[in-house]
Amino acid sequence: MYGFEALTFNIHGGYLEAIVRGHRGGLLTAVDYNNLCQCETLDDIKMHLSATEYGPYLQNEPSPLRTTTIVEKCTQKLVDEYKHMLTQATEPLSTFLEYITYGHMIDNIVLIVTGTLHERDVHELLEKCHPLGMFESIATLAVAQNMRELYRLVLVDTPLAPYFSECITSEDLDEMNIEIMRNTLYKAYLEDFYKFCKKLGGATSEIMCDLLSFEADRRAVNISINSIGTELTRDDRRKLFSNFGLLYPYGHEELALCEDFDQVRGVMEKYPTYNLIFAKLSYGESQMLDKAFYEEEVKRLCLAFEQQFHYAVFFAYVRLREQEIRNLMWISECVAQNQKSRIHDGIVYIF
Amino acid sequence: MDLFRSEDMNLAQLIIPVESAHHAMTYLGELGLFQFKDLNSDKSPFQRAYAKQVKRCGEMLRKVRFLKDQLAKAGIPVSKGTLTSKEIDIDELEVKLTELEIELTSINSSSDILMRSYSELLEFQLVLQKAGMFFYSVQSNARAQQRELEESSSFRVEESIESPLLLEQEMLKEPSKQARLGFIAGLVAKSKAPAFERILFRATRGNVLLEQVPVEEPVLDPATGEKMEKIVFLVFFSGERAKLKIMKICEAFGANKYPFPEDAGKQAQMLDEVSARLLELKATIDAGNRHRDNVLSSIASDIELWDSTVKREKAVNHTLNMLSVDVTRKCLVGEGWCPVSAEPQIQDALQRAAYESNSQVVTIFQVIKTKEMPPTYFKTNKFNGAFQDIVDAYGIARYKEVNPAVFTIVTFPFLFAVMFGDWGHGICLLLAVLWLLFNEKKYSSQKLGDIMSMAFSGRYVILLMSIFSIYTGLIYNEFFSVPFPIFGSSAYYCSDSTCSTAYTTGLVKTQSAPYVFGVDPVWHGSSTELTFLNSLKMKMSILIGVAQMNLGIFLSLCNGLYFKNDLNIWYQFVPQIIFLNALFGYLSILIIVKWCTGATADLYHVMIYMFLSPTADLDANQLFPGQKYLQITLLLLALVAIPWMLFPKPLILRSRHIKESQGHTYNMLRDSEHDIVDLDHENDETDQEEFEFSEVFVHQMIHAIEFVLGAVSNTASYLRLWALSLAHSELSSVFYDKVLVLTWGYQNVIIIIIGFIIFAFATIGVLLCMETLSAFLHALRLHWVEFQNKFYEGVGYKFSPYSFATMDEEE
């Protein structure tokens, strides 16, 4: 019921919304980043982080730190918070929260399948998986030889099963296939999530659909850019785009035809929102595109907190925390490898 | 009257030579009377001079935590007590901690390896037992079947039962199909078993036989070292590809596979071997554990000492980080607040530090003049601390402001008792708090629960509250709502049998004097009881309220005199006291006059018509001659007081400001140097605050309106004293009449006991707990709002010295 969420939202969602807003208050600010950027060693970073909400997670780490430990512990905090919220949540918020993790599940599946293709140790691969995207039988993925087996053996039990309907083939798995599988899955996932949010209605659908559209458009652009110069046909490329978003459907047709980055840029500049992003980049420069997109995303995610009584804050919080962890990883890497001059290139300031 | 105004504070500068800085900080921390200002707030924590030491302490704390963790795991109690008995060198401690950590980690890792192989063997043993049992039962089944077959027909089955199971049978039956039937035995976690089975089924398309036997007791998992519920499984399959798949699935599920011989004889042999090795391992592990326990128990007595030493060291370095380093790097400069009375102690501590570190230069301690507002510091003890906390919860007093806590010590329990007047309940409360007081030593050293610690920290408040409520209970003459003629018999006697329902006319006064102390017990139970008590308590509430508000206004005079703020005295205090007393002070006097003379005047009428038609005659409501003219005078005074409060102060402030700015323009023309210096000084002050007339005026208007309206509403607010006291006595009489007296009437022991239990629980739960709480909250409100808003600004900040003692408490 649009406009009436305020009346009933707090019955089930009030506590968790308060929790998530509290967590958001713990996100690092520009001042924190400035201080972190001045760190000389990883121990300095630890010392600074111990004054933030990450403190309890890092305090028991013995001193020669590694970047991976920092990232791992910071992720652990996010996972703990997420699990706490998930256990407290009722329907439909719990389903919504689960939807947030499906993206990580897809990434994890792809990671393990690719890893086994290259005959890497499964346990080593499992450690690299994002803990939010873990599911019970994830390790069994290594058994599968092709898409059909993958589906039949493992994925049929996971929430991702319906998304597989479009990509079941008996072909053996190879790099290209996996990448196509990832994108098909993502497409199905985003569409499903989009539909689910539409069904929820109210401010949730309004904000979430906007955020998801942005996500879908970003993926479409990335797919277009990455598939330039590969064997992927135009029709196949077109099939990987999610069927919603600002670019749908005309932008998709045009993107499918693009042959180089400047053509993509030409297509995107027709859309005022994306025009601003591309305006920041000079011609022919595609490396900075990711950061530009991240910055735009963070801006939109922060705006989600401006409204009350909707679920998008949970999505936004998890995404912002992930961005923060990416920032921390970048800073730690720069500090560890003595590349302090590049430290500002990778940080997406959240506040 | 130490508590009346906060301690004198000085902003002091310390110039400490680097070599004695550490000692100085340690002594100052032990003294705990110096609040350092952070002079490096623009620097991030790791850029400061002592960041390395802080980091080092953090690392040591981590090691201490690790050791504590190990102690807790091994179940060795940590002994406390010998704190601060000896000094420990921090460098030695660091070396020691590092050694211990390395030693323990190596012990742990070796024992982990041992434990791992131990639990692996244990699992293997389980597999041998369980799977062996399964094979045995299948074999005996098969044998029985064969016997049946032999008996039922002459057809002889070729193969012998003794030969290993299934495998050969299959092969013999279908020799054409050369599929080898193999099996894998192992253990898998119980929670994963269904999924494991499902995946096995799917992966092999059902061409698999899974046999599972649950293990009764949780087993140690070799990989994680945790106890888990597990099952032993046996998978039978055919073909190499299936085997590969199953192996992979086993790996993915974290199932431990074990080689399992088919031959029964071999099984027995392996079982023996495994048992023997288990025994050996057990002995080794025990020896390892004993070694570890020895190491741990040797540190158990010291660990707390180390912990506090490292924490202090960290605090010292943390404070050192707040000092700014001199350009020459020879000394540290610190600034901070300290009470004037503590200056000798601080200087003494600094001297000791300089002496002990053999420093040539003494630490320089000098007082700096400042306009900054000093922190507020009250020296409290365990008795008045709780009362100070009540006031502090509203706001910390401005430096040198009158401290309402002094009056709160008496007025707070008194107002509480007015609402809680029952000497029976008072005695219960007193007993409870006396128990707390007798166990004070025990409780203050241990950690208490939330509610308990709250009650314990407010024990002296509760003590006074209970004593005062015994007193007011005696005045109200209530003991669990039963009146007692303690102070002689009633001053009345019944003229006829309708006494209990009679009005005052039914009672005849026997003694000329009124009842000696408190309320005459005869009122209790009469139909006029409520009318009488309400009138009494209502008037009493107004008297108490007006008295307390007057006290509040007089305290604002104290503030005005102390801070030499003439404006506040003449244009705030004087009109306020006139306004309040012209209206409600007058009402109080009327009440007392009415009590003394026994007049029947209607005070409501008097008060209301004093406003509505002040010139009208009072007729029967006149209490004393000339009352009408007095009233008109008072009303005029009150009316004059309102603009008096409102206009002069902002206007005078404005004219002062204008004069000052004029003086600023012309000050160069004056020749007296002294004047110029003075003026400069004043200008400094005024420059800090921009003078905005409209703002000042609006502010004053709000204050005046608040006071005028507040005078009415606050007086009305004091009526809560009556309301709460009424509610309390009514509730307790309901519990007494409707529960205890009612059940008493049944003359049945069981019913009486039940009735008494209900009465006791209702009294404890509702009257002693909830009523105490509500009366407490109302007393709190009366203090915070009605009393303190007359004079208390509460915009100061608390003196929070750098001290080891408070640091230890926070832990």
DSSP for A64-84 reads S--HHHHHHHHHHHHHHHHHH
Which residues, 6 or more positions from B571, have their beta carbon under 8 angstroms from its beta carbon?
Answer: B644, B645, B648, B649, B652
Q: What percent of chain B has pLDDT over 90?
A: 22
pTM of the model: 0.72
pLDDT of A122 > 80? The answer is no
Over range B765-775, report the average pLDDT.
91
**pLDDT tens column, A239-288:** 888 888 888 888 888 888 888 888 888 888 888 888 888 877 766 566 77
CA distance B95 to B101: 10
Say which DSSP state B39 is in: T
Of B46, B54, B249, the CB nearest to A140: B249
CA distance A313 to A203: 11
Say which DSSP state B32 is in: T
pLDDT of B157 > 60? The answer is no
Closest to A149 (Cα-Cα) out of B666, B248, B28, B739: B248
How many residues are present in chain B?
Answer: 811
Contact A122 B251 (CB under 8 A): yes
Angular region, B518: left φ>0, alpha ψ -120 to 50, beta rest: left
Closest to A309 (Cα-Cα) out of A210, A214, A201, A212: A201
pLDDT of A20 > 90? The answer is yes
The residue of A57, A153, A155, A157 whose CB has the most chain B CBs within 10 angstroms, and thus the best one to mutate to test that interface, is: A153
Contact B199 A137 (CB under 8 A): yes
User: Which is more confident, B277 or B684?
Assistant: B277
Structure tokens at B680: 């400069």
C-alpha dist (Å) from residue B422 to B240, B431, B721 = 90, 14, 14
Contact B44 A38 (CB under 8 A): yes
Q: Tell me the torsion sign for CA atoms B159, B165, B167, B173.
A: positive
Structure tokens at B482: 């039963």
Over range A116-143, report the average pLDDT.
80
Of A38, A47, A60, the CB nearest to B62: A60
**pLDDT tens column, A156-205:** 778 888 888 776 666 666 777 788 888 888 989 999 999 999 988 888 88
Q: Is the previous residue joined to A92 through a cis bond, with omega within 30 degrees of 0?
A: yes
CA distance B628 to B538: 25
Query: Tell me, what's the pLDDT at B139?
Result: 79
The answer to which of A66-75, B14-23, B413-422 has the lowest mean pLDDT is B14-23
The answer to which of A318-332, B448-462, B504-518 has the lowest mean pLDDT is B504-518
Structure tokens at B175: 């020799």
Of B59, B195, B251, the CB nearest to A137: B195
Query: Tell me, what's the pLDDT at A172?
Result: 65
User: Is there a contact between B257 and B196 (Cβ–Cβ < 8 Å)?
Assistant: no
Residue B686 pLDDT class (50, 70, 90 cuts): very low
Q: H helices of B235-302, where?
A: 240-252, 264-300
CA distance B714 to B584: 11
Q: Is B235 helix (H, G, I), strand (E, B) or coil?
A: strand
Over range B469-482, report the average pLDDT.
90
Of A43, A50, A143, the CB nearest to B252: A143
pLDDT of B159 > 60? The answer is no
Question: Which residues of chain B make contact with A140, given a CB cutoff of 8 A?
Answer: 199, 248-249, 252-253
Top mean-pLDDT range of A240-244, B72-76, B352-356, B553-557: B553-557
Of B45, B192, B253, the CB nearest to A47: B45
**pLDDT tens column, A198-214:** 988 888 888 999 999 99
Query: Tell me, what's the pLDDT at B575?
Result: 93
Complete domains list, chain A, with CATH: 1-21+31-88+311-351 (1.10.132)
User: Which is more confident, B411 or B360?
Assistant: B411
Over range B760-782, report the average pLDDT.
92
Contact A60 B65 (CB under 8 A): yes
Question: Which residues of chain A make contact with B237, given a CB cutoff of 8 A?
Answer: none
Q: Cα B554 vs. chain centroid, distance in angstroms?
A: 35
d(CA B75, nearest CA chain A) in Å: 21
Contact B199 A153 (CB under 8 A): yes
Contact A139 B202 (CB under 8 A): no
Contact B253 A139 (CB under 8 A): yes
pLDDT of A32 > 80? The answer is yes
Structure tokens at B39: 């002079």
CA distance B262 to B360: 87
Work out how many CB contacts closer than 8 A connect A with B: 63
Say which DSSP state B520 is in: -
CA distance B663 to B675: 11
Averaged confidence pLDDT in chain B: 82
Interface residues of A toward B, Cβ cutoff 8 Å, are 35, 38-40, 43-44, 47-48, 50-51, 59-63, 122, 136-137, 139-143, 152-154, 156-157
Count of C-beta atoms within a 10 Å radius of residue B83: 11
**pLDDT tens column, A302-314:** 999 998 888 999 9
Q: Tell me the torsion sign for CA atoms A125, A130, A133, A136.
A: positive
Which residues, 6 or more positions from A270, have their beta carbon under 8 angstroms from its beta carbon?
Answer: A251
Contact B203 A153 (CB under 8 A): yes
Closest to A106 (Cα-Cα) out of A202, A184, A199, A19: A184
pLDDT of B550 > 80? The answer is yes
Contact B55 A35 (CB under 8 A): no
Burial class (CB in 10 A: 0-12, 13-18, 19+), B372: exposed
User: Is there a contact between A242 and A250 (Cβ–Cβ < 8 Å)?
Assistant: no
Contact B54 A122 (CB under 8 A): no
Structure tokens at B384: 């008045």
Closest to B46 (Cα-Cα) out of A36, A18, A174: A36
User: Is there a contact between B313 and B57 (Cβ–Cβ < 8 Å)?
Assistant: yes
Instruction: Give the start-end residues of each E strand in B363-502.
Output: 364-368, 492-494
pLDDT of B170 > 70? The answer is no
Residue B679 pLDDT class (50, 70, 90 cuts): very low
Of A60, A62, A143, the CB nearest to B248: A143
Count of C-beta atoms within a 10 Å radius of residue B351: 16
φ, ψ of residue B209 to 5 degrees: the values are -120, 120
Instruction: Give the start-end residues of each E strand in B630-760.
Output: none
